[in-house]
Amino acid sequence: MHMHSFTPEDILLYLYKETSPEMTRAIEEALNKDWALREKMNVLQASMQRLENIKESLRTEVVLNILNYARKKAKKQEA
């Protein structure tokens, strides 16, 4: 049986559930047999999580900055 060599892009598509059913099955089979591939996937998953956390943090910071700006504007108008 030929062992398919999956690229990081293949694994990312798999993690985002954008692979075909055939590709999904092939990757899952390979993950069950290939320790190195599982490690690559774990690294990509951790990176995805960090990016998601950064995006969440940035959104919160933007909202707080807007609220602070609005508060300052309101105070100036009251004076």
pLDDT of 9 reads 92
Domain contains 1? no
DSSP string, 8-27: HHHHHHHHTT-S-HHHHHHH
Q: Total structural domains in the chain?
A: 1
Domain contains 61? yes
Domain contains 24? yes
Domain contains 2? no
Domain that holds residue 38: 8-78
Given a cut of 50, the residues of the chain with pLDDT beneath it are 1-2
Domain contains 3? no
In angstroms, the CA 1 to CA 70 distance is: 64
Q: What is the pLDDT of residues 50-67, one digit of tens each?
A: 988 888 888 888 888 888
Domain contains 14? yes
